[in-house]
Amino acid sequence: MDKRIHLTGLTQAELTALVSEMNEPSYRAGQIFAAVHGRRLRSFDEMTDLPKDFRARLAERASVSTLKVESRYLSEDGTRRYLLKTEDNLPVEAVFIPEERRDTICFSSQSGCPLQCDFCLTARLGLLRTLTAGEIVEQIIIALNDAYGEGVRTPHGTNLVAMGAGEPFLAFEPLMKALRIMADPKGLYIVPNRVTVSTAGVVPRIRELATVADRPHLAISLAAPTDELRDVLMPINKKWPLEELMAACKEFERSLKAGERFTFEYVMLDNVNDSDEQARQLANLLNRHNLRAKVNLIPHNPAEPLPYRPSSPERVESFKAILESKGVQAYVRRPRGRDIYAACGQLAARRTANTLTANPSPV
């Protein structure tokens, strides 16, 4: 593997240390940071404000782009999926989701995933490797450049969700570093308040996040209202069962500012977790722990060979009505990019129809 330093994963302070080691004035660090994150340049050749010989010396020991765009897929609803490859040839996927108000980029924290959620296609890959901070940031740079053009300012700002492949709380350090780098006003300037991190329920990290001041929003994947069912659907539940998870959620909720809330995600599986009785159990679970979080209901995104089907729209509505009748706010999420395997739980490096050219170009 390339042993060069990946500049995309360095903070401004780390870049300053690097340029001083190379006997260059410290303002060069600011120039590099602005080029990589502000103008989103992907090669040293384009950084014409840096002296040529310095660029050559930099290229010897550092790189700006490590992820290769292997293919891009365009959904009929406008969603774009990027199948990327790391330098060690592992798949990484990111998804660009155009929306009326603010577009959303969904990124991956790991190549594959070690958790074995039974309804998720990514689980079938197993864990290949946790991504670096630079690889996380680069996914967003690639998606922004493709959607808007290289370096072009995003029209209304962009939301990020760590809901791609992998368990973000098993990539905690690189994830938090990537968020710090992306928040820098001289760079992408996407602040934690615009980011949502979704976890399958890594309890110690939920408690840790509760102590972080400048932090992203939190979403917790539930999928079942009882330990019995959750043990089967999400085996991580055997390690951190519902009572422990709910206690950590309560602690997190206590750390929220007035008006802030966190989210539970509940994937709706036909005839598995979607009965009226299960809706009551879910509402009782949240009410018993005095949690005010809202619930996002996500109809299952089917994919061969997953043995599940999405709940019918009527079932979802009935489930939602029961939650609401017990004082739990619930929203139904509209699936995006299902036709190109870009929706939740469908990221598994699949090759599908609707390929765009591999070379990114603006919409």
18 touching ligand SAH, by CB under 6 A: no
> Which segment (38-46, 195-203, 245-253, 353-361) binds ligand SAH by CB under 6 A?
195-203
Q: Which residues contact 56 (CB under 8 A, 6 or more apart)?
A: none
- 119 near ligand SAH, judged by CB under 6 A: yes
- Tell which one of 158, 199, 273, 278 touches ligand SAH (CB under 6 A): 199
Nearer to ligand SAH, 36 or 123 (CB): 123
Binding mask 147-186 for ligand SAH (x = CB under 6 A): ----------------x---x-------------------
Segment interacting with ligand SAH (CB under 6 A) among 33-41, 50-58, 186-194, 296-304: 296-304
Contact with ligand SAH (CB under 6 A) among 344, 348, 349, 360: 344
Q: How far is the CB of 301 from ligand SAH (least distance, A)?
A: 4
Q: Are strands 195-199 and 158-162 parallel, antiparallel or unpaired?
A: parallel
As a whole number of angstroms, the distance between CA 140 and CA 92 comes to 12
Cis peptide before 305 (omega within 30 of 0): yes
Residue closer to ligand SAH (CB basis): 44 or 107: 107
Q: Please report whether residue 93 would count as binding ligand SAH according to CB under 6 A.
A: no
3-class secondary structure, 8: helix
3-state secondary structure at position 343: coil
Site residue total, ligand SAH (CB under 6 A)? 16
**Is there a contact between 209 and 201 (Cβ–Cβ < 8 Å)?**
no
- SS (HEC) of 13-57: HHHHHHHHHCCCCCHHHHHHHHHHHHCCCCCHHHCCCCCHHHHHH
> CA 288, CA 290: separation in Å to the nearest integer?
5
Q: In terms of DSSP H, where are the helices of the chain?
A: 12-21, 27-33, 52-61, 133-148, 172-183, 203-209, 227-233, 236-239, 242-254, 276-288, 313-325
| Residue the block writes with tokens 């570093």 | 177
Q: Which of 111, 145, 221, 311 binds ligand SAH (CB under 6 A)?
A: 221
315 binds ligand SAH, rule: CB under 6 A: no
* The binder of ligand SAH chosen from 58, 200, 316, 342 (CB under 6 A): 200
Nearest Cα residue to 314 out of 327, 299, 326: 299
The Cβ-side half-sphere exposure at 287, using a 13 Å CA radius, reads: 13
Q: Which of residues 254-273 bind ligand SAH (CB under 6 A)?
A: 265, 267
Report whether 94 contacts 76 (CB < 8 A): no
CA-CA distance, 50 to 36, in Å (whole number)?
12
Q: Which stretch binds ligand SAH (CB under 6 A): 177-185, 196-204, 318-326, 349-357?
A: 196-204
Query: Alpha-carbon distance 358 to 83, whole Å?
Result: 9
| 104 sits near ligand SAH (criterion: CB under 6 A) | no
Q: Annotated catalytic, 344?
A: yes
Residue 267 Cβ vs ligand SAH, minimum distance, rounded to whole Å: 4
Q: Which of 113, 117, 120, 344 is catalytic?
A: 344
| Residue 120 within binding range of ligand SAH, rule CB under 6 A | yes
Name the active-site residue from 93, 138, 167, 253.
93
Say if CB 222 and CB 266 are below 8 A apart. yes
- Does 73 contact ligand SAH by CB under 6 A? no
What is the closest distance, in whole angstroms, from the C-beta atom of residue 172 to ligand SAH in the complex?
Answer: 13
CB of 19 to ligand SAH, least distance (A): 36
Whether the CB-CB separation of 261 and 294 falls below 8 Å is answered with yes
User: CA dihedral defined by 221, 346, 194, 316, rounded to 10 degrees?
Assistant: -50
253 is catalytic: no
Binding site for ligand SAH (CB under 6 A): 119-120, 163, 167, 198-200, 221, 223, 265, 267, 298, 300-301, 344-345
Positions marked catalytic = 93, 344
